[in-house]
Amino acid sequence: MSTLIEFKDVVKEYKSGDNVLRAMDNVSFTIDEGEFVVILGPSGAGKSTLLNLLGGLDSATNGQIIVDGEHVENFDDNELTEYRANNVGFIFQFYNLIPNLTAVENVELMKDIVDVDIDGCAVLKSVGLENHANQFPAQLSGGEQQRVSIARAVAKQPTMLLCDEPTGALDSKTGVLILNLLQEMSNDKNTTVIIVTHNAILAEAADKVIRIKNGQIEDISINVNPKKVEDLDW
């Protein structure tokens, strides 16, 4: 597998008045194409910051972020928008669906962004929601909303799926279903899936586990035989 993502000495600092908070301190790692990666760490460790930098939602203060050979850290606003549109599918803890659009409309919203022929119903079917296509987010359960969110993310066929605590707002049973779906995306469609979580159990299912603490890499480990999500001891 070729390297898709490379973080080299990435630093992210936030300024608040005279104070400077270093949220990411010389972080370096690589992620291969099609890998199922879990980024673990306690609250405030810098997991979401890492995901934001990787997804082009925020810019690094220092260091290099290379994705598919492109230096993301040098992108201007328009290039970052383009990068997010074509390369990144986001899955958020609280789903962040557009509340006034139905499930299928939330998926087909991506038609405005990428030059890909999207069949919203077909994508929803792939996440098991073909019967809920015309329902609004408020009419769906948390798990169903998260599946719409996944459908929206994969509809534009991104290079990677970035998932920020995707099961954080779900009960464990639904959480397993979602994680299973994400693992399938990685295994069956060779999509690079990166999940940020504080739930250490998930580490056993990952191809690669990046442990992060206080804005620094604590450990990077590779599972030679990752377990299936459904086989984990929840």
Partner 1 sequence: MSLSKKMLRDIKINKTQFISIFLMAFLGIFAFCGVCSEYYGLEQTSNDFYADNNLADGWIYNTTITDDALDKINNFSTDSEKQLVVKSVGNFSNDPDITLHFIEDNKISKFNVAEGEDINISDDSGVWLDKRFADAQNLTVGDNISFSFNGITIEKEIKGIGYSPEYVYEASPTSILPDFKDMGFAYLSHNAFPSNIQYNVLLVKFNQSADDFEDSLEKSVDCLSFTRQSEHVSVSQFNEEMSQHKMIGNVFPIVFILVTFLTLLTTMTRIIAHQRTQIGVLKAVGYRNRSIIMHYMSYGFWPVLGGAILGLVLGPAIIPNLFYPTMSYRYSLPAWHPGFDMSFIIVAAVMVISSLFVSYLAARNISKENPANTMRPKAPNISSSGFLESSKLWSKVGFNIRWNYRDAKRNKFRALMAIVGVMGCVALLVSAFGMNDSMEHLKTWEYDDISHFESKLIVESGASLSDIDSIREDVNGSTIMEQAIEIKVQGNEKVGSLLVLNDTNLISHTDKNGNPINLSDTDISLSAKIADSLNVGVGDTIEWHIVGSDEWVKCEITNIHGEPLSQGIILSKDMLEESNLTFSPTSIITSKNVTEDYDSIKSISTLTEMKNNWDEMTGSVMMMVSILIFFAVLLAIVVLYNLGILS
Asked if 152 interacts with partner 1 (CB under 8 A), we say yes
Give the residue, chosen from 50, 52, 165, 215, that forms a contact with partner 1 under the rule CB under 8 A: 52
Nearer to partner 1, 92 or 205 (CB): 92
What type of residue sits at position 70? Answer: E
Span interacting with partner 1, options 27-35, 49-57, 190-198, 215-223, rule CB under 8 A: 49-57
Task: Return the structure tokens found at 67.
Answer: 């994705």
CA distance 53 to 136: 31
Choose between 83 and 206: whose C-beta lies nearer to partner 1: 83
DSSP helix/strand/coil, 82: helix
Is there binding between residue 121 and partner 1 (CB under 8 A)?
Answer: no
Taking CB under 8 A as the criterion, the residue among 11, 66, 85, 121 binding partner 1 is 85
* Residue of 17, 9, 25, 6 whose CA lies nearest to 72: 6
In the bound state with partner 1, the residue whose beta carbon lies nearer, of 142 and 187, is: 142
Residue 141, H or E segment: none
Q: What is the Cα 194 distance to its own chain's centre? A: 5
Question: Taking CB under 8 A as the rule, does residue 112 contact partner 1?
Answer: yes
Q: Tokens 């605590």: give the residue.
A: 165
Q: Which stretch binds partner 1 (CB under 8 A): 33-41, 76-84, 123-131, 188-196?
A: 76-84
Contact flag: residue 32 with partner 1 (CB under 8 A) = no
Q: Which residues have C-beta within 8 Å of that of residue 25, sequence separation ≥ 6?
A: 11, 214, 215, 216
Instruction: Tell how far CA 180 is from the center of its chain.
Output: 14
# binding residues, partner 1 (CB under 8 A): 31
Choice between 109 and 169, CB closer to partner 1: 109
* In the block, residue with structure tokens 């598919």: 68
Q: Residues in the site for partner 1, rule: CB under 8 A? A: 52, 55-59, 77-78, 81-82, 84-86, 88, 90, 92, 96, 98-101, 105, 108-114, 152, 156
